[in-house]
Chain A
Amino acid sequence: MVFMAVTGFAVARLRNLFGVVMLTGLFSLMSAVLYVVLDAVDVAFTEAAVGAGIATVLMLSTLALTSSEERVSEAEKPMWALGLVVVTGAVLIYGTLDMAPFGDAYAPIHHHVVPRYLEKSGQEVGLPNVVTSVLASYRGYDTLGEVYVIFTAACGVLLIIGRPKRGRRRTLRMLVGEMRHGMRQNVILRVVSKLLIPFILVFALYVQWHGDFGPGGGFQAGVIFAAGFILYALIFDVDTSRMVVPSEVTRLLLALGVMLYAGVGVVGLLRGGNFLNYSVLAQEQTAGQHLGILLVEFGVGLTVAAAMITIFFTFARQEH
């Protein structure tokens, strides 16, 4: 954690934006390690894939499209900002004074709602991974909302920078031109990644279907799947990889994923339950829950993968 704090300060001081972005990725990665220590394996998985992976790539593409140095300006007003931050921080510290100490098993947070998840989800939902049960079933509606958030972002990116201006399409030179050129020439990189990419995609599928039992699930799988494609595009060519997955296809998958999720909810509703009740999907409650979770997780995976690919390619298609 102390390392994280140091990284944070470094980010605040550093002017070179490439360095800043790299440090931010590092920051995310460290937080992921911390999550593992704190027993949040699912979260760690996601943070590593998203924070250290996708977000960093997006930031780098933005830098490549804009500028990579932060100008030192006199108009900065660190004093009042510092004041505001110190006051806010002091208020937060004041708030922590009545918190239960770290790791206390008797803290109220662990006693009101959660015991039922831990004790009963085994019978009610029938999955060993409690995080998946809560995510997809008990609080499945939040997760539907979450998938819609990413859907909104993908459509939004399409809407904001979707159409290259003047119709002339030129590929973004990812990172700096020469670096990319260098990567293409690098035989080892090409061979290794060619070997690696199928494994990444297979791994993504494994994560997708394994989420019920161990850490993983639709969201992580979607991100990993998208990462596979992005890696391909980075090392080989954006245009070639775009041919593998045309924008029409990703757009369709984007829409189908959220519709699958909401659709499962509606089926539950038509079969006499409330919206997102999976128990009515089959004869037995746990079988229904199982089926429902499998389907919605697949929907999540579809939309997330499609959204990440869409967002990445939309950035990559910008004119420099």
Chain B
Amino acid sequence: MAAQYPALQVVLALLAAPVCLILRRPNAAWAVATVITWISLALALSLLGRVWETGVILYPMGDWAAPWGIEYQIDTVNAFMLVIVTLIGSVVMPFARASVEAEIEEERIYLFYCMYLLNLAGLLGIAITGDVFNLFVFLEISSLSSYVMISLGRDKRALTAAYRYLVIGTIGATFYIIGVGMMYMTTGSLNMADLAAILPAVADSRTVLVALGFLTVGLGLKLALFPLHLWLPNAYAYAPSAVTVFLAATGTKVAVYAFIRIFFTVFGGVEIFTAGVIPQILAVLAALAMIGASAVAIYQTDVKRLLAYSSIAQIGYMVLGISMVTVTGLAGTIVHLFNHAIMKGGLFMAMGCILFKIGAVQLDQFEGLGKRMPVTMAAFVAGGFSLIGVPLTVGFVSKWYLVQAALEKGWWLAVAAILASSLLAVIYIWRVVEVAYFRPPPKGSAEVSEAPLSMLVPLWILIGASYYFGIDATQTLDIAFAAAETLFAPPL
């Protein structure tokens, strides 16, 4: 049976989605979604273990060998991605129950979990596949379900946020398939490993160059690379809390993964990426994102929006690591994928708790919150430290390796950008802390108690993890470095 885990990883969630549709009961749908997510986590961990011991796992769908059929190719990189996605999903599900009940009408909840499962399946499908067109199909499953989930936010701006995301996301996806079409045209293949083997022979073709350009822009839109990030702040700010947690922690991460996969696996044997100007352009955009988005975050009055801008800055860190094209830089990116997922997941969960109790996350409503919701706010502060990059947190670990990688390359400006962005993070986190702890609660405000345990426990699991993996980072770093080395290894 273990041989079938790669298929089950995605198919279980796919099968569970229609089951939710038939059940039509909120609690039953939640239970199905939770159990499936947990089983998926177990599958992902076992796959990671197997890849760690025996190397790449190949799984041809329908037993049609690649490149004729669609094949799953699992190496350390995507096994790690599978773990990140399912891990976040597993922690979000218990949290979601109370949060979703509070934010979404009861008759729609079962459909919401159906959407969640489709989204999960889509993200896992992107991460696991070894076929560029199959990636597009699952990208669309995950995108369509995220548009729907975002539109469910209570604020009516959620609708426009979802609409704009839909338009931009579809443009991104269409650019992506133009790129795929051009690659297919010059090589005759859609399989990633196969493409990697053929592309060097046709690398001087202008068609391939343009294909790479379109793939970059298409995926750049999906991962909210500056200046293609305009859809993200409103989408994260107005989506229901559980959705924001899940998407912020996984959605853009998987897009970053796809980006890495295209550049280093598919175009791994080709000089145009490593020697061309694309890395420099990416580095500049990344630095702009890190500083620009952090600066904008300072001026936000909606704390969820503030964190959304901070996410754009964090995506800048990841892209910076990619743009260095070195093992250390890439390892920094990969470890940051994990680290940022747990800390940003935790921070957005804190927002979910506050939204659950107070009904809004405007900065002025945070007055006195340090005393009124001490457990939640303590988690926010702890997560904030991690975002800034204080030692002993995961944020520190990733920044440490990114700085190291920048120093190896002699990119002093990049180091400066990382430091500047961290300083800006101090400011925006401090603004929230100051309001929450040093201002008295507004007079006549209703008594506010803590969020329920079902929300606080997942919150603290993620925040705790961001310290656990910050103090002892050997496991995550080992995986990240192994993953980065696989990406630089010559194609199979």
Contacts and interface: CB of A to CB of B under 8 A. Distances in A.
Given A148-B118, A152-B115, A138 B140 contact: no
Interface string B104-133: 010110011011001001000100000101
Given A108-B186, A117-B68, A163-B107, A258 B18 contact: yes
A98 B207 contact: yes
Contact of B114 (A108, A155, A269): A155
A91 interface: yes
Interface string B148-186: 100110000000000000000000000000100010111
A254 B20 CA distance: 12
Interface in B282-329: none
B14 A278 contact: no
Interface string B42-73: 00000000000000000111111001111000
A69 interface: no
Nearest to B121: A148
A107 interface: yes
A92 interface: yes
Interface in A76-120: 91-92, 94-100, 107-114, 116-117
Given A254-B21, A256-B18, A156 B125 contact: no
Interface stretch (A177-185, A227-235, A259-267): A259-267
B4 A152 contact: no
Contact of B148 (A140, A156, A254): A156
Contact of A152 (B15, B145, B213): B145
B211 A95 contact: yes
Contacts of A252: 22
Contact of A138 (B18, B64, B188, B210): B64
B187 A148 contact: no
A112 B62 contact: no
A112 B21 CA distance: 42
Nearest to B148: A156
A50 to B, nearest CB: 15
Contact of B210 (A92, A112, A158, A273): A92
Given A98-B205, A156-B144, A159-B108, A142 B213 contact: no
A279 interface: yes
Nearest to A154: B21
B68 A95 contact: no
B455 interface: no
Nearest to A112: B188
Contacts of A145: 125, 134, 137-138, 140-141
Nearest to B184: A109
Given A160-B151, A266-B11, A95 B17 contact: no
B7 interface: yes
A16 interface: no
A75 to B, nearest CB: 16
A22 to B, nearest CB: 22
Nearest to A108: B188
Nearest to A262: B15
A99 B207 contact: yes
B157 to A, nearest CB: 15
Given A138-B68, A160-B151, A274-B62, A98 B206 contact: yes
Contact of B147 (A114, A140, A141, A156): A156
A173 B290 CA distance: 51
A162 interface: yes
Interface residues of A, number: 60
B417 interface: no
B182 A142 contact: no
Contacts of A152: 115, 118, 141, 144-145, 148
A249 interface: no
Contacts of A114: 188
B209 A95 contact: yes
Contact of A156 (B145, B178, B210): B145
A112 B187 contact: yes
B426 interface: no
B76 interface: no
Nearest to B142: A152
B62 A113 contact: no
B144 A153 contact: yes
B7 to A, nearest CB: 4
Interface in B346-377: none
A139 B211 CA distance: 23
Contacts, number: 172
A159 B67 contact: no
A162 B68 CA distance: 41
A156 B115 contact: yes
B421 interface: no
A98 B152 CA distance: 46
Contacts of A97: 206-207
A159 B115 contact: yes
A257 to B, nearest CB: 8
A269 B4 CA distance: 8
Contacts of A35: none
Contacts of A99: 185-186, 207
A253 to B, nearest CB: 10
Contacts of B208: 98
A149 interface: yes
A85 B7 CA distance: 41
Contacts of B125: 145
Contacts of A155: 17, 21, 111, 114-115, 118, 148
A167 to B, nearest CB: 11
A137 B64 contact: yes
Contacts of B108: 159, 162-163
B61 A112 contact: no
Contacts of A159: 108, 111-112, 115, 148, 152
Interface in A260-293: 262-263, 265-266, 268-269, 273-279
A266 B213 CA distance: 39
A251 interface: yes
Nearest to B107: A163
Given A117-B68, A145-B141, A274-B7, A112 B189 contact: yes
Given A140-B61, A254-B21, A112 B11 contact: no
Contacts of A116: 68
B67 A113 contact: yes
Given A149-B144, A153-B144, A259 B68 contact: no
A65 to B, nearest CB: 14
Given A160-B148, A259-B18, A269-B7, A277 B207 contact: no
Contacts of B118: 148, 151-152, 155
A97 B204 CA distance: 12
Interface of B: 4, 7, 11, 14-15, 17-19, 21-22, 59-64, 67-70, 105, 107-108, 111-112, 114-115, 118, 121, 125, 131, 133-134, 137-138, 140-141, 144-145, 147-148, 151-152, 178, 182, 184-190, 194, 198, 202, 205-211, 213
Given A98-B205, A109-B188, A279-B63, 9 more contacts: A95-B211, A96-B207, A98-B186, A141-B70, A142-B137, A149-B144, A159-B111, A163-B108, A269-B4
6 contacts: A99-B207, A156-B145, A156-B147, A159-B152, A259-B19, A276-B62
Name the 8 nearest CB pairs between A and B, nearest first: A95-B210, A112-B188, A255-B18, A275-B7, A145-B137, A156-B148, A276-B62, A141-B61
